[in-house]
Amino acid sequence: MDMDTPVGANALDAEKIVGKPLDRVDGRLKVTGGARYAYEMQQDVLYGFVVEASIAKGRITAIDTYAAEQSPGVKLILTHRNAPRQGNGNHREAHPVLTGPLVSHYGEPVACVIAETFEQARAAALLLKVEYDREKGHYSLAHHLDLARIPHQPDGAPADSEIGGFPGAYADAPIQIDVTYRTPLQSHAMMEPHATLAVWDGDNLTLHTANQMLNQGRQVVARTLDIPVEKVRLVSPFIGGGFGGKLWVNADAILAAIASRYLKRPVKVALTRQQIFHVTTHRSDTIQRIRLATGSDGLIVAIGHDVFSGNLPGEQVYEAAALQTRSLYAGPNRQTRHRLVPLDIPVASSMRAPGESVGLLALECAMDELANKLKLDPIELRIRNEPAEDPEKRIPYSSRHLVACMHEGARRFGWDRRNATPGQVPDGRWLVGMGMSAASRGNPLRFSKAIVRLDPSGSAWVRMAMTDIGTGTYTILTQIAAEMLGLPIDRVRVELGDTLFPEAAGSGGSFGAASAGSALFEACEALRKKLADSVGMDAGTAKFIDGHIVTGERAVSLLELVGDGVEADGEIKPGRNNREFSQQSYGAHFAEVGVDRDTGEVRLRRMLGVFAAGRVLNAKTARSQAIGGMVFGVGAALHEDLVLDPRFGYFVNHDLAEYHVPVHADIPASLDAVFISELDQHSNPLKSKGIGELGICGAGAAIANAVFNACGARVRHYPITLDKVLAALPKQA
Ligand code: MOS
C-alpha cells in the first residue's frame, strides 16, 4: 500500500492490546542471557583483532609482520598488501578496508590479525610494527571554517532554504538576537560493542552482526566485496543499542568476511570499547549561528540558522541542525544554511536524532534568549509564533500538538512557580531555576514488507527483516498482530533480524515502528480478508475476537479455517501523505536545576517531557524510549564531549571512563515522560509517529535554559561544565 490517503477507522482503534503497557515479549530472554548477540554466536571460530593507524593522515611505509607471524596461534595477518580489491563509495554505499598504504584518519584499520583465540590475536597484534610518513591534515572544525563547502546529500534535504527576504527583514526589525552556539563531537556509546561473525558456505556469506538496517547493510557488504546481494545474508536478532552507530556497516563486518573467506573458517571480529571511537562513526561537532528578529509584539519577522559541521573528504553527510528551524515557528522571512568542512578525522554520521538533537540545543536556547529580551514568558513566545501551516513547505501539518504539550507540561511541572528573573531562588548554596524547550522531530516512513501466517494450531507468526535495537520492536509488532487477528499475545510469535525474511526498514531515524508496523498491519489486513472471504463474511465489518471471526450472531473459530495454515503478506511505502503533509512529532521539556554558586556545578533536580506522537503503541516501551531520550539530552547538555587533539587529529577520551554519559547519580528520581492522546490521520495506518528520537530533541536546551534561569549564566558552548558556568556568571552573583 502507498500512504496516499488519510487513514480511516480500523482494527487497531479498539486498542485492546495495542497501546497497553505490556512487558517486553523478549524481556525474559534478555535478562536470563537467552538472547544471543552477534559476539555470542558460537561456531568453530577464529578470532580477528583490528590494528589501528596511529597517525591521522599519511602513508604506511613499512609493516613488519615477522614477529606477529611467529606468535602462537596466528593464522593470518591481513594488511593492504594481501587484502582483496573492494568496491568503493561513501560510508552509506561501501566500506572497503585495507585498501592501500594511505591513511585517511586516526584509528583507520591498517591490519587485522587472525588467530585461534582472541587473546592470541590481540597479543600478536601488539607485535606488529607499522611505520608511517606523516602528513599534515585538517582536524578541527573551528580552525578550518574557511574550507566549508555546500554539501550535496542526494537523499537528504537541500542544504539551504530561503523564504522572503531574510537579510533586510532582520536588519530592519526592532528586536534582534544574533547568537552562536557550539555543540561538541559526540560518540554513540551504545552498550554492545560492534561485533561480527562471518561464515561462508561456498560463495554464500552469512554475517551475524550488530546492525540496525539489515537490508541496507546487505547492499553495502555486497558492493564492498563485489558479490551479488543475494549471496549476502545478515542476521541480527538482538542488538545492544545503536543510536545510529550501527546504521551502516563497519570494519568488523568486512574484515571478518575477508578473513573468513581466506581461511575457510568462520571468523569473529569484535571491536574493543576503545576502538569503537575511531574505527566507527561519531556525531560531528557543530557551530550554529541563530538570528531571530521580532517586533515588540514578539512575532518573528526573520529567522535564520547557519550550521557548520565536518566530515571526511568525499562524505556528504552533514549535521542537519537547521532542519527543524524550517518548520517549527512561523515567520515570513527565513534562511537556513548548512556547510560542511572536510576534515581528516573518522567518518561523521547519524547519531540519535541527527539534526534536531543538536539543532534544538541552539534554536531553543536562542528562543529563550529572545523571550528574556522581550520580557515574555518562553511558552507565550512560542504560542505567539505557532504557525498555521508549514512555513517553508506551505503545506498543512499532519497533526501538531505543540501548544497542548506546553500547556500540559506547564500545569504538571508547576511552571507558574518560576521566577522569570535569574538568580532569585536560593536554596542554601544552590541557585535554583527552571527552563523549558519545545521538542520536534521529523516523522519519516520507509518501505517495508511483512509476512504473517496462521498455523493449524491457531498460533500466528510474523517474519520480517526488521530489527529491535532495544526499543521494543518485538513487543509492539506482537501487539499489532494479536490485536488484528484477535489472538492473545502468547499465540503470536514475531521473528526479526534476518535478511531471509521480507525486506524491512530496520531501526533508525524514528521510522522503525511506523514502517515495520504498517507493513505488518497490511499483512494482517490481507490475512483477515482471506479468512473472511473463506467463510463468506465481509472483511470490512467482520471482527476478530478471541480466536474467532465474528459477524453479528455468527462466530467461526479460526481453527476451523486455517487448514494447513494460511498466510499473507503486506507492504508499505511512502506516498502522497509524505509530500502533502508536514510530519513531525512534538513535545515540550521542563527542567529544574540547581547551580552551586561557588563551584558552578549543575545538578538536575526534576525533569518532565510531554509528547504528542500519534498513537502510542505500547505505553511502557514508549515511556522508556522518551525517558532514554531525555537522559541522552541531559548528557548532551552537561556531560558528553569527545575531545579532539587538534595537533594529531585523534579523540583523546576514547573510552567510557573519560567520555562521560549520564550515570544513575546524575538522573533524579523525578524524571518523567507522558504522552498526550493523539491519532495522526495522515502518518500511516497505525496513526502513530516515531518516538525513538523525540525524547532527546530539545531536552538539553530545557536544562541550559534552566541553568540561565537559576544563575544568569548563558553558556553557548556545550557541554555546560562548571568552568564555563563560572566564567559566564554575572559578576554580582
Ligand atoms: Mo538513528 S541516528 O537513525 O539510529
Collapsing DSSP states into helix, strand and coil, what is residue 198? Answer: strand
pLDDT at residue 488, as a whole number:
97
Q: Where are the beta strands (DSSP E) in 232-332?
A: 232-235, 267-270, 286-294, 300-311
Rounded to whole angstroms, the Cα distance separating 594 from 609 reads 19
pLDDT at residue 8, as a whole number:
86
pLDDT at residue 549, as a whole number:
97
Out of 364, 483, 503, 693, which one is annotated catalytic? 693
Asked whether the beta carbons of 337 and 307 are under 8 A apart, the reply is: yes
Kindly state if the Cβ of 247 falls inside 6 Å of ligand 1.
yes
pLDDT value at 454 more than 70: yes
pTM for the model: 0.97
Asked whether the beta carbons of 567 and 454 are under 8 A apart, the reply is: yes
Q: Which residue has the cell 537490508?
A: 215
pLDDT tier, 733 (very low <50, low <70, confident <90, very high otherwise): very low
Tell which one of 192, 352, 441, 471 to mutate to probe ligand 1, the residue whose CB is within 8 A of the most ligand atoms: 352
Asked whether the beta carbons of 212 and 506 are under 8 A apart, the reply is: yes
- pLDDT > 90 fraction of the chain, expressed in percent and rounded: 96
Q: Are strands 644-645 and 650-651 parallel, antiparallel or unpaired?
A: antiparallel
> Which segment of 1-15, 116-130, 293-307, 672-686 scores lowest on mean pLDDT?
1-15
Kindly state if the Cβ of 433 falls inside 6 Å of ligand 1.
no
All residues at 6 or more sequence positions from 513 whose CB lies less than 8 Å from its CB, including other chains: 471, 473, 476, 617, 686, 688, 690, 691, 692
Kindly state if the Cβ of 242 falls inside 6 Å of ligand 1.
yes
165-178 per-position pLDDT tens digit: 999 999 999 999 99
Kindly state if the Cβ of 320 falls inside 6 Å of ligand 1.
no
What mean pLDDT value characterizes the chain?
A: 97
Tell which one of 216, 247, 511 to mutate to probe ligand 1, the residue whose CB is within 8 A of the most ligand atoms: 247
Nearest atom in ligand 1 to 353's CA: 2
Q: How far is the CA of 344 from the centre of ligand 1 (A)?
A: 23
| Protein residue with its CA nearest to atom 4 in ligand 1 | 244
- pLDDT > 70 fraction of the chain, expressed in percent and rounded: 99
Kindly state if the Cβ of 352 falls inside 6 Å of ligand 1.
yes
pLDDT value at 1 more than 70: no
Which class in CATH covers the domain with range 11-35+445-573? alpha beta
Active-site annotation holds for 693 = yes
590-639 per-position pLDDT tens digit: 999 999 999 999 999 999 999 999 999 999 999 999 999 999 999 999 99
> For the chain, how many residues are written?
733
Kindly state if the Cβ of 350 falls inside 6 Å of ligand 1.
yes
* Domain limits, the chain: 11-35+445-573, 38-136+188-279, 355-444+580-732
Q: How far is the CA of 534 from the centre of ligand 1 (A)?
A: 43
Kindly state if the Cβ of 213 falls inside 6 Å of ligand 1.
no
pLDDT at residue 130, as a whole number:
98
Q: Which fold has domain 355-444+580-732?
A: Aldehyde Oxidoreductase; domain 4 (3.30.365)
- Chain centroid to CA 196: how far? 21
CATH architecture of 38-136+188-279: 2-Layer Sandwich (3.30)
All residues at 6 or more sequence positions from 231 whose CB lies less than 8 Å from its CB, including other chains: 203, 204, 205, 222
pLDDT at residue 154, as a whole number:
73
All residues at 6 or more sequence positions from 624 whose CB lies less than 8 Å from its CB, including other chains: 472
Q: Are strands 195-201 and 267-270 parallel, antiparallel or unpaired?
A: antiparallel
519-533 per-position pLDDT tens digit: 999 999 999 999 999
Query: Are domains 11-35+445-573 and 38-136+188-279 of this chain identical in fold?
Result: yes
